[in-house]
Chains A and B, each alone.
Chain A
Amino acid sequence: MTQLSFLTSKPWIWSFAAAMATWVITMLFTGGSSFVGLSQATLTFASFSIIVGLGQMLVITLGPGNIDLSVPSTITLAGTVALKLMDGQSSWLLLGFFAALAIGLAVGLSNYALIKLLRIPPIIATLSMSFIVQSSAIWYNRGLRVKPPKVLADFTTEATFGIPNLALVALALSIFVWWLLEKSVFGRWISAIGQSPFAARMAGIPVDGARLMTYVCCACFASVCGFLLASFSGGAALNMGTEYLLMSIAVVIIGGTAVTGGNSNVPGIWGASLFMFLVVSMLNTYGFGAGVRLILTGLIIITVILAASRPSARAR
């Protein structure tokens, strides 16, 4: 009985269980030969979803209707601009990084300005912002493919003590977000807003200020992800953000964060991101065709969400 309540009170357990199971099944097929390779690849690729997922989770915590659909285009624009500015020069690394952050800041501010000033729902506001940002990326990029500075390319593809550097970056950011949500005043505020914006307002919380900060945070996480992704893959591409639209939302939901807001879950993002990558590689290893692979991915995701969506028994 106590074990059962432990399971239901920790919704992120499910995403880890699913990730473990998929990992084991894949290992069984390859007979353990790909142990290091698969693990490292998984951690590396999952890092990108973790970083964007963290931002998206903060926004989803704000409650029903809050979502940021401008994530993929922010990734693209941040990656494009940063790489073009650095122009392959390692000495300009910091400039590129801060340019990416500035793009995140600008997108976040504009998102909330649209939501607040024009009073349009976040789903529409961030989607329209996404078109503007994507168009800027196309206009700025013009098909150029600039190589990342050597230092950066090495950093993003290498590992420290067998753990990919990217996974360490994702870990650091996750600890920061965990602190933000669990320990900080700001986290208390956004959780309150997610449960009831009106009650939060009347409790003296600066609701608009906190929401603005959250949208800015989300866009900054996306721009950092874009910066790293472009460096990792040897250059920015105009479609590099596309898969992170659904991915960022999926990892949040599978990770056990309440879609209805007010309750979020950092460890779950990890489990879900690892799982999402492992499912694809498992089905690849077993040699399924593209169609079957997509259907199975969908079915597996639904199963995990069903298992994880039991209501939590205890208040926080």
Chain B
Amino acid sequence: MSDHDTVVSVKDVRVQFGAVKALDGVDLEIFAGETIGLVGHNGAGKSTIVNVINGALPPHEGAVSYGAQDSTTKVAKDNGVRCVFQELSLFPNLTIVENARLMHSDLGGWNWRKTAARLMREMLDEIFPNNSIQTQSAVGELSIAERQMVEIAIKFLNVTQAPKLVILDEPTSSLDATLAEQLLAHVRRYVSEGGSVLFISHILGEILSTSSRIVVMKDGKIVSSKPASEFSVQSLVETMGSVVKKSERKSARSAVQGSEQTVLHIPSGKAGGLDFNATRGEIVGLAGLGGHGQTEMLLDLFNKHCSNWVPEKQQNVAFVAGDRSLNGTFPLWSILRNLTVSNVRALARFATIDAAREDIQADEWKKRIEIRTPDIDNPILSLSGGNQQKVLFARALSGEAEIVLMDDPMRGVDIGTKQEVYNILQSEAVSGRTFIWYSTEMDEVCLCNRVYVFRDGAIVAELSGDDVTEDNILAASFSGVAA
């Protein structure tokens, strides 16, 4: 009976961000007493479904309901839905007890500090026996692992209302093996007592050993939902992969092969990681799940090759941003100035910028890369996202830079623009430039000559030529797969 109480039910939910369908008709029911493992590659819709369930994102279509019958309140929090975030949601300047108070409004009354301290102590000891965390210490003083432990304990806390569904988004990524095992044991215990857990992890071993049911997402849809016992690591990886024909990919892939001349070499920083190498004229892909060290590597590479104090004689690296508003565009400037900013030194004589040459260069690139605007002196923000992205490509390519770093630059760009840019990249690579391309999109990664797969901040696999396939990349992105 209690086995089949619905905790959350999501019916035919659709969410769309611009042209991207983040969720495309998702049905998901979570019952009391089960652990659901949620897996999928970048952009599959994992975070979106989590946000829909915890109420942060109202679905554009479809319905979310909590509880078995139509619950009196529609708010996720009041229905016992708790979410442990990957980016910790604690306030570093407050103590653990104060953080608990903020998260639980029912933790009030006379002497709440004492109650909170007792509850937190009990909960921390229950989940992570033998921990040495002091409930009076400020969160900022704790290590990353300890913060994660506190975050988890706060979310499992039962003040006046027991949590019914706890969403764990990559909870073990900052915990060591012992702590992770303690957490998983707690999850099993909690579920056996009638709670339910939605568990997201890139470590497939954890998913298989802890979940009762595994839901696989791809392209905003649920492609499989079966009891965990029916899955193996291999079948999970296969289910996550897409069905696009492989022959199509191969023909699209760059015909160019890098020369022998090495332009970049980075020895592996972490134990167990591989070295990074790039040769002239090569397109090197960086793959893996988002946030596993790819962007950090690009930034490191850039900082190593471009001084922050003295202007470089010749700029040999260029960077194409993916998050345009973070480190790409200059919002006050025109398209022209945004395009030429990296290259003004080459356009200057006696430290004075030659306006005529600047115009010529901008016009040339406007034509070459087809920036759709009536006037290149219009503000950069008057362009669509895809065209702004083209300006950033033009900025990087108009200079002399031999190495171009790309930080997932095609995020949210329409398919037409993508094709145009792919063609330009191919021809630039033929003429000897090296591209290092971090992408969260499988199709793009498969265009590269060689691919490094990242996991937990290190390179765990190198694939080249015909080995660059979705299956191989997925297998390397999720650990728990025999290499």
Contacts and interface: CB of A to CB of B under 8 A. Distances in A.
A103 B90 CA distance: 47
Contacts of A188: 337, 341, 344, 353
Contacts of A198: 326-327
Contacts of A315: 332-334, 337, 377-380
A207 B345 contact: no
Nearest to A261: B332
A203 B310 contact: no
Nearest to B382: A315
B311 interface: yes
Assign chain A's interface to a size class.
20 to 34
Contact of B308 (A189, A201, A316): A201
Interface string A235-273: 000000000000000000000001000110000000000
A185 B333 contact: no
Interface string A189-210: 1011001101111111111110
Given A204-B342, A315-B379, A262 B307 contact: no
Contact of A262 (B327, B332, B399): B332
B332 A263 contact: yes
Contact of B330 (A184, A195, A207, A258): A195
A9 B264 CA distance: 47
B291 interface: no
Given A184-B352, A185-B351, A199-B329, A204 B380 contact: no
Given A206-B307, A206-B310, A209-B309, A195 B352 contact: no
B351 A196 contact: no
Nearest to B329: A199
Given A184-B353, A208-B309, A199 B345 contact: no
Interface in B304-326: 306-312, 315, 317-319, 321, 326
Contacts of B348: 184-185
A27 B242 CA distance: 81
A179 interface: yes
A208 B308 contact: yes
A122 B352 CA distance: 29
A186 interface: yes
A183 B350 CA distance: 11
Contacts of B318: 204
A314 interface: yes
Contacts of A196: 327, 329-331
Contacts of A203: 319, 341-342, 395
B345 A192 contact: no
Contacts of A209: 307-311
B396 to A, nearest CB: 9
Nearest to B377: A315
Given A198-B326, A315-B379, A204 B334 contact: no
Interface string B353-379: 100000000000000000000000111
Interface of B: 302, 306-312, 315, 317-319, 321, 326-334, 337, 341-342, 344-345, 348, 351-353, 377-380, 395, 399
12 contacts: A183-B353, A188-B344, A195-B333, A196-B330, A196-B331, A198-B327, A199-B321, A199-B329, A200-B341, A201-B327, A202-B321, A203-B341
